[in-house]
Amino acid sequence: MELDWIRYLAKILPNHPRLAVGIGDDAAVLEWGSGNACLVAVDIVSDGADFHLGEIDPALAGRKALAVNLSDLAAMAAQPVAAVVALGLPRRNARNLAERVYEGLLTLAAEYEVAIAGGDTHVWDGPLFLAVTVLGLPGPGGIWKRDGAKPNDVIVVTGSLGGSILGKHLHFRPRVREALYLAQNYEVHAAIDISDGLLLDLARVAEASGLAAEISLQAIPVDPAAERLSLENGTNRSPLEHALSDGEDYELILAVPPEEAERMLKDPAVGVSLTAIGRFVEGEGLWHVEGNFRARLEPAGYVHGNSHQPFGK
């Protein structure tokens, strides 16, 4: 449902003179005048869809609610400034639950120097949910978008991928500092965070940029958690398949000019491992390329609205 709904909104929402970047990217960009801009992103997390409250410390729910939004700002190379929090609480033990949720949220906010500027609290007969809206400023290197990839750009990913359901989806580090460093020191043409799976999110950059993406499956940085999950869950999915399509890795996909990518991959100051997995080329779609071999890839990943796939899996 989500992708169709976004396409529908893109058609019906009117333009606004202050809206520089609207629906369809990781965050919106509002122009306030005199060269000042504000980035805005919002995400909802809820019990049963993004975590099971009976199985985790509620502080982790609060942490995740802010972290997913900080990841959106990282994908735009933006500096987080503030957040507002809408909190829906089940009636039973609401006050204690709220305090635990805020403990996790405030700990992460302090780490990234984000002011919690307000919000709303609602008590109801349903499950816990949090809707966090973050506000940010363009970083010193400018704003990244999804639609700027160019032919022959190298596809670079941060970190390792797959198996996030084993814990990373609650404990991941939003790549804010890494993105700000890269944007200030390197030319990056396009970016997105991996929230719904490597293939699906890479397809979004390729489509937005009017290009095809070619990747080497041998180059994909597979997380050890994907290896464990492949053995544990009995779904007959390989570690590589988990790395390609598991959601909620919250790493970054970058489109980088070849000469910049060569320098970037050797830079120890980035603060996270970087891997070149392919390139953008003229055409459309996703392609597996190894030497002279070339085959089409389907953009598999988590599609919101599929209730049988909790936690982005």
Query: Residues 155-166: pLDDT tens digits?
Result: 999 999 999 999
Q: What is the largest CA-CA distance in the chain?
A: 61
Quickly count: other Cβ atoms within 10 Å of residue 43's Cβ. 20
pLDDT at position 171 over 90: yes
> Using CA atoms, how far apart are residues 68 and 41, in angstroms rounded to an integer?
10
For residue 214, give the H/E element and its range: strand 212-215
Contact 51, 64 (CB under 8 A): yes
- Tell me what the mean pLDDT of segment 185-207 comes to: 97
Look up the pTM and report it. Answer: 0.93
User: What local confidence, expressed as pLDDT, does residue 163 receive?
Assistant: 96
- Tell me what the mean pLDDT of segment 110-127 comes to: 97
- CATH of range 2-138; options 3.30.1330.10, 3.30.450.20, 3.40.50.300, 3.10.450.50: 3.30.1330.10
Q: Domain boundaries in the chain?
A: 2-138, 154-312
Q: Which neighbouring-strand residues pair with 173?
A: none
Q: Angle at the Cα of 284 (from 242 to 216), degrees rounded to 5?
A: 40
* Domain 154-312 in the same topology as domain 2-138: no
Quickly count: other Cβ atoms within 10 Å of residue 195's Cβ. 23
DSSP helix/strand/coil, 212: strand
> Using CA atoms, how far apart are residues 166 and 220, in angstroms rounded to an integer?
19
> Using CA atoms, how far apart are residues 45 and 84, in angstroms rounded to an integer?
14
For residue 75, give the H/E element and its range: helix 58-75
Task: Report the share of the chain in percent with pLDDT over 70.
Answer: 95
Q: How sure is the predictor about 198, in pLDDT bands with cuts at 50, 70 and 90?
A: very high
Q: Which neighbouring-strand residues pair with 131?
A: 44, 86
> Using CA atoms, how far apart are residues 211 and 154, in angstroms rounded to an integer?
13
Top-confidence residue, 249 or 32: 249
The CATH superfamily of 154-312 is PurM-like C-terminal domain (3.90.650.10)
